[in-house]
Structure 1
């Protein structure tokens, strides 16, 4: 059997999450970048279908890591929101950003297959580079960012 494409993985993710199924799914959101000499961001949050959430932040000043458990409803809602907005994110072959941009990457893992999609993480940069996202997609990736901030800064 042929290896599934990134589109196949995203489609399977969307189908499963629309049914509320989270088994065998893991999402990792990475946000990295920024101007040299300014505060550079490097944050990762991973949420498994079982509800385990891990966040990690690395910068020149410090490194932080934290873990928590989400309940089933929170996990399903987070995955469903991302499923609704995943079609607006772009694969590496279509990703083109100005150097030093704050870039987000969402890796969707379904069973043993994965797809990584990209977006500009900063709203001002999205406007400047004319790479706007629909509000529901912004909400989806923002949910992961809020989870990261909650885990690392509470």
Structure 2
């Protein structure tokens, strides 16, 4: 029996989109990170990881402090979060296509399906998206904002 080739990032994303459109979350984990900002200003580094079981872990680091928090989402919330990201994932770009100005606030979404992963990028700041003419369609912006809101909720409740 031959070893299967490692799937491309594109294939991992396609599998994620197919599974989540069917409401399947098994074997899926999403990590959403936002990092960057201007030196001398408030540089941001936040991340949230959501597993198929609904376990959500958030972490933030900035010049002043770092904090972490954990919560559980119910299966409907987890499915919805994953499905919405699946619907918008095609509008995020792989590293090879990511072109952002230095010091931009960049979002990265790592999609893990079984033991394979793909990381996609976008400009996290709405004003920077407009300035750099890298607008996201509303459904994609909403999906990544869901993860940002979840991070804020976990860290600041």
Q: TM-score, length-normalised on structure 2?
A: 0.98
Match of 1:118 in 2: 121
Structure 1 outlier segments of 4+, above 3 Å: none
In 1, Cα distance between the equivalents of 2:96 and 2:151?
27
In 2, Cα distance between the equivalents of 1:29 and 1:17?
17
1:61 CA drift (Å): 0.1
Match of 1:128 in 2: 131
- Paired residues for 1:4-153 under 5 Å: 4-153=7-156
In 1, Cα distance between the equivalents of 2:77 and 2:6?
31
Aligned residue for 1:133, secondary structure, equals coil
1:63 CA drift (Å): 0.4
Aligned length: 154
Q: CA RMSD in A?
A: 0.3
Gaps of 5+ in 2: none
Gaps of 5+ in 1: none
In 1, Cα distance between the equivalents of 2:68 and 2:44?
14
Q: Deviations over 1:29-65 (max 9, x none)?
A: 0000000000000000000010000000001100010
